Structure 1
């Protein structure tokens, strides 16, 4: 049997997102908010994972940073091992250096001094994602419906995508093609943007460009659900395969090569699989970085599930997904899950019970 999960409690702060460092095998970042993110301050925790007896794991907080508003997401830099970026409820995005601003070795709380901050979104920033190909670029999505691209060296965003007319819950770079970005929204769609297309819509006479209108045309729109889509992720081994999840209580797998062309652009996408079982909305979906067919989901039903997805193109003896593991020690909504980038099968989950779990599925 696998050892019990490693557990870390942060009283007073509900967790919203967790990310493993792409440089250090045992380093985690945790984005949290007071009062379940409704009002109050936020906190960025830096956590270390240490091996214990009999294959167990232990968790310790190295330091934490206080913020004036709640934090909804966090992403590590792909360039600098000590930099990370956070998404905040006040519409701001902040870049942190984890080696700076420590008051005293005996005081884990660090000063509220990010090395850079941006304030362009007009509503809550709900996700940030760092490109693992264009390593100097990250993307954000906001409840204002916009998706923005950034580089740490510039004081303003380098591109704005009017992705949705309603909340854009998440946006992510493709891990295979550096110019593809996918977003999901309350309108039930996934939208894929190709950044190689003109960044601005021409205005006025033919051949002129006013450079005033952000790009709004997606190269592909996938009608993924009749309800809100809360999370999306690219498959790490299949370039045109996506997973989505949301209020309809299920995760869905999409093959974006199967599209139907209409006058308004590419619309469609073949649904390869539907992963049922959760009793409430699925808040987070993430493909394994080690296996092409393993998917993790986190839900408001207080569980985190790992399933094997069987694609239609595979020769198989069974039909549909195969449930591998159900993780259910949480006592509140589970809103974040993240696979270890270095250790196959190790995953972290976090939720509104102020609890971070790291376990082997």
Structure 2
């Protein structure tokens, strides 16, 4: 397990580069994100450990980070002052582009994985916005009418994105629909159903292999997986085990049934949703926790998979001012 100390800054989001397996970015905030500056770290994984290749200081807390899918040195961050900033590792100190349209904290940013020329952001101001790095203003604003913690593009379509927030609804926007169709809103369905009361949904992620499957988690400590074609029938799987709110979920880029979670209970956990097929000798698995990584000593707020190499390397960050790089395979079965 490798470790890097984000001294004086508490981690909020972590993202592996889609171009290099040895490069990781961390969005962090001073004073636990309550007040003070932010810092974006660009870290290199070397034979001698993790080193800071670059860092950028900002005037307000940073809550999330996403690498450009089209430019290997550029990445965008979400800020507590409502701004979004685009940095280039090849340039010093200042962002190469900055936008200030959101009226409250921006809590997530996510690059379009298919078209690669746009990214989205979600904010506590009740909107999701779509941006182009080449334009001075947003391309489109999608109202959610609720504090929106997480937005994400589908990895299977350049026109579909989703969002979850404080009202416990999953919203699916399809940009192919005319704007008159409820501002491109294709689905608006509750995450919770009886007997579970609604609670804030903090995170969600699209399955990388099954294009209609989404995982959603939040304050009630449960991870639910859904097929968006039949959400009214309830979740495909409910994964229970975290002791406090789940802050981040991430499906594996290598295996269709595997996902990671990060929680305020100071653990990262790896799960199977039970969808892997069995064979004559090995039965199909059931949805369950496969293992946990308990090395963080404060809230764990971010986790991400490495896209390259062996199936299992990931990175996590938290309020303990630590980035940890570890092998999921080492914790499965404990």
TM-score by length of 1: 0.85
C-alpha separation in 1, matches of 2:8 and 2:125: 28
Q: Secondary structure at the match of 1:219?
A: strand
Name the residue aligned to 2:153. 173
* 2:327 counterpart of 1:330: no
Q: Secondary structure at the match of 1:36?
A: helix
Largest Rg, 1 or 2: 1
Q: How does 1:146-157 map to 2 (within 5 A)?
A: 146-157=127-138
Unmatched runs of 5 consecutive residues or more in structure 2 = 193-197, 329-334
Unmatched runs of 5 consecutive residues or more in structure 1 = 53-57, 102-110, 202-214, 260-267
* 2:236 counterpart of 1:272: yes
Deviation at 1:257, TM superposition (A): 1.4
C-alpha separation in 1, matches of 2:273 and 2:223: 11
Deviation at 1:319, TM superposition (A): 6.5
Tell whether the 8 Å contact from 2:315 to 2:324 is kept in structure 1 after alignment: yes
Q: Secondary structure at the match of 2:229?
A: strand
Name the residue aligned to 1:93. 84
* 2:319 counterpart of 1:347: no
Tell whether the 8 Å contact from 1:253 to 1:274 is kept in structure 2 after alignment: yes
Deviation at 1:175, TM superposition (A): 0.4
Name the residue aligned to 2:167. 187
Name the residue aligned to 1:230. 202
Over 3 Å counting, the alpha-carbon distance change for 1:221 and 1:100 in structure 2 is: same
C-alpha separation in 1, matches of 2:229 and 2:278: 16
Q: How does 1:208-247 map to 2 (within 5 A)?
A: 215-216=182-183, 218-225=185-192, 226-247=198-219
The C-alpha deviation readout for 1:187-211, integer Å capped at 9, x for no partner, is 011110111111356xxxxxxxxxx
Tell whether the 8 Å contact from 2:257 to 2:276 is kept in structure 1 after alignment: no
Q: Secondary structure at the match of 1:35?
A: helix
Q: Secondary structure at the match of 1:257?
A: coil
Name the residue aligned to 1:209. none
C-alpha separation in 1, matches of 2:285 and 2:235: 15
Tell whether the 8 Å contact from 1:256 to 1:270 is kept in structure 2 after alignment: no
C-alpha separation in 2, matches of 1:51 and 1:307: 30
Q: How does 1:28-43 map to 2 (within 5 A)?
A: 28-43=24-39
Deviation at 1:216, TM superposition (A): 3.9
C-alpha separation in 2, matches of 1:233 and 1:269: 20
TM-score by length of 2: 0.92
* 2:122 counterpart of 1:128: no
68-77 vs 215-224, which deviates more? 215-224
C-alpha separation in 1, matches of 2:277 and 2:227: 11
Q: How does 1:98-117 map to 2 (within 5 A)?
A: 98-101=89-92, 111=93, 113-117=94-98
Tell whether the 8 Å contact from 1:337 to 1:349 is kept in structure 2 after alignment: yes
Tell whether the 8 Å contact from 2:28 to 2:61 is kept in structure 1 after alignment: yes
Deviation at 1:218, TM superposition (A): 2.2
Q: How does 1:2-21 map to 2 (within 5 A)?
A: 5-21=1-17
C-alpha separation in 2, matches of 1:232 and 1:314: 27
Over 3 Å counting, the alpha-carbon distance change for 1:312 and 1:345 in structure 2 is: closer
